[in-house]
Structure 1
Amino acid sequence: MQLRQSLIPLLSLTLLLTSAHAQNNVKYVTDQLQAPIRSAANETSRIVKMLTAGEKLTIVGENRQHYDVIYGDNKSRGWIHKSFVMDEPAAREFVEMAKEEFEPLQKKINALQKETEEKDHLINALKENQKKLEQALDVQTNRVTYLEQINKNAVDIDNDNQVLTERNMQQALELKQLKSENFTLKENKRSDEWLKGASILFAGILLGTSILPRLLRYRNQKRKWSRY
């Protein structure tokens, strides 16, 4: 169940990147500091606004060198040169999305780490109690043996021996229960450590297979634009 919850943010990031790529009529301002929106499809027309890098644009028309776009919360309209536009969000947008998706995963890892430390503390406490019970059990066992050797024929000693034997059995049962709880906690700790490692590995695979290839493709596109 915890593994499934850890995978949800990563799957959400994958679906987000896939859906953004599938929308052919949506493009983004490049990583240049600002891109001009003009009133007409030529470089001499009036600049009506300067858009920041990564801003989302909706394409409604185009000519050889310009896009007719809708931009901003007010759905304003204007023309922008194609060299200022790319099909996918800017690299820093991918980085921000990755950070947003990775932070919940990091919190889960931290929570697992804290839970592991708490279980370690409980295991140590159980070990200490187990040690004390073993010592008490040894004392009771030695006492029973001593009484059996020197007072076998005494009725009162036999009764005392029976009481001690019952106590011995009770302490042995408690010791067995403590050992069982100790084993269960160790198994849970091992499962938590495996889940933490698997989550980190999956996050690394996602970053390596989804984010880095897009950053490399964006760098190649930027080199092509720099030739204009």
Structure 2
Amino acid sequence: MTLDTRVYVLDEISYKDVWLKCNQLIGATENTRFTDEQQKTWRSGESFVEPGNSWWIWNKPGQGLCALLDVSYRPGVPLRSAEQAAAHDEDICNLPGGSWYDEESGPCDGSDHRPACWLEISFDTGYGYRGDNGEGCGDLHARLVAELGQWLDERTVRWLWKNEFTGDVHSGYERLIDLCSGGFEATAWYQTAVLPAISARIGEGGAS
């Protein structure tokens, strides 16, 4: 089992710049193997590329990185427009693992559709992960999101992140603590990086 934390980048920015920053955060190097390709459509057991498919750039697994990383994008346009985000996608909404799927939730009402965004980033780490400093996968993801968020804030690029544990989408740093294991809020990075960012966002009325 893995923890897959998503970051939605709402404003225009080069996917390559974001990709490089995310790779820096997870410790990738110029020797890290990756693929940049248009995503395929699967139908009746076969895969093929359709003109409207999005693109994604992703690191190949098995390279010893703390998280699998992929970034979904469309060249020169948003990954999902507001209209696309609002539309009901039969292929996504009615499949396990889709944007809302829950056998007990009933028909899709659109409330859990993925948000409109320029890019969608995935950090994916096994539940059994333990870093050299004792951090678990949730601690790691809280740090990655916080550091990426600060980098985006410096460029006045808006962003959201999704907590896979709850399915909730948040617009700031405050709820990153929900990912952390007990006591991790006392660590140096949280005290020096996350808390000041939370305070600044609250001062602007932007944390949630």
TM-score grouping bracket, smaller chain normalisation: under 0.3
Greater Rg by CA: 1
Query: Given the two structures, how large is their TM-score scaled by the length of structure 1?
Result: 0.20
Higher relative contact order (CA 8 A, sep 6+): 2
Higher strand fraction: Structure 1 or Structure 2?
2
